Structures are given as structure tokens and as C-alpha cells.
């Protein structure tokens, strides 16, 4: 086994899974804005069948690139599936705040109530992403977007 580089040893890296099934969760079909489909955020996509995407094989690239982190990271418990927890963790390519620089970031988005961001299991998930440390971590709700961790900082 190779030794872990000293600068990474202190970080806890989430373990990626093969991909969990969404089950009955289709919150991404409601929460996300999909401009190419003229679908605003907060409105259920017309292609949602109630159990998945009716155009999955031909879905837009923006949908294909989007990643629900609950599906990808084993360290996130079953109770944090978005439809159960009210929080959707995702890897996004744009910062959720207009005055922040664009780039890959982790976003924890309250989909029902901003108080869902403060529950113990959700707080531990945010702490896990902060400990990993490589990407900015954001909390987003109807109250706005808050940067929890800036990610790795590189000298200009």
C-alpha cells in the first residue's frame, strides 16, 4: 500500500460508491433549473414520470453531468437521501452566489426548510466535506447562499 502524502493525511476523503439508486427520490427533477427544457427551479420537470426521467436516455447534457452526492458517496447515510432529509448535496460547476468565482464546489441545498441544514446528520455531512477540504462548500436555502469552507487556496 502506498503511503498517504503528508498534506492529505489529515483529510478524510469520502469513499465513492458504484452509485446508489435514487429509489423514489426525484427531487432533482423539481429543484434544478434546466434552461434547455425551459424548466424553472422549483417546478417539477414535465419529463418526470413519478419514478424517474421519461427521457433519461436522451436527457440534456446538464442533467447527465449533474451529480447527487448522496448517490455517489457511501459515507452519506441513507437518512440523507434528499427526499428523506430535505437537503440535496451536489457537486456543481458554478458557485451558488453571483459574487463568488465560478468553479467546482459542493452545495448542500435545503429543498423544504432552511432548518434542515442545521440537523445533526446534515451538519456532520457538511463537516465531512470541510475536512476533505479540496473544494469550496456552500449552504443554500431560501435565505441565501453561505460559504462554509473556501476550499484549497492557491497563491495568485
Using CA atoms of 27, 33, 39, 43 in order, give the dihedral in degrees to the nearest 10.
40
Q: What DSSP line would sit under 71-129, residue for residue?
A: HHBTTS-GGGSHHHHSEEEEEESS-SSTTSPPS-EEEEEESS-GGGGGSHHHHHHHHHH
Distance CA 98, CA 94 (A): 9
Distance CA 40, CA 32 (A): 7
What are the pLDDT digits (tens) for 104-149? 899 999 999 999 999 999 999 999 999 999 999 999 999 999 999 9
Provide the pLDDT for residue 126: 97
Query: DSSP state, 53?
Result: B
Residue 15, pLDDT > 70, answer no
User: What's the whole-model pTM score?
Assistant: 0.82
Amino acid at each position: 500500500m502506498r503511503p498517504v502524502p503528508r498534506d492529505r493525511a489529515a483529510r478524510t476523503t469520502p469513499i465513492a460508491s458504484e452509485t446508489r439508486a435514487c429509489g423514489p427520490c426525484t427531487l432533482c427533477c423539481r429543484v434544478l433549473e434546466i434552461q434547455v427544457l425551459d424548466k424553472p427551479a422549483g417546478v417539477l420537470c414535465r419529463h418526470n414520470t413519478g419514478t424517474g426521467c421519461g427521457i433519461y436516455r436522451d436527457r440534456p447534457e446538464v442533467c447527465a453531468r449533474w451529480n447527487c452526492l448522496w448517490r455517489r458517496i457511501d459515507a452519506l447515510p441513507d437518512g440523507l437521501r434528499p427526499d428523506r432529509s430535505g437537503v440535496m448535496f451536489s457537486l456543481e460547476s458554478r458557485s451558488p452566489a453571483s459574487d463568488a468565482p465560478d468553479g467546482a464546489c459542493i452545495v448542500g441545498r435545503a429543498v423544504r426548510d432552511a432548518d434542515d441544514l442545521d440537523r445533526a446528520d446534515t451538519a456532520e455531512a457538511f463537516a465531512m466535506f470541510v475536512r476533505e477540504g479540496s473544494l469550496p462548500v456552500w449552504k443554500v436555502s431560501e435565505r441565501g447562499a453561505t460559504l462554509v469552507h473556501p476550499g484549497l487556496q492557491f497563491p495568485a
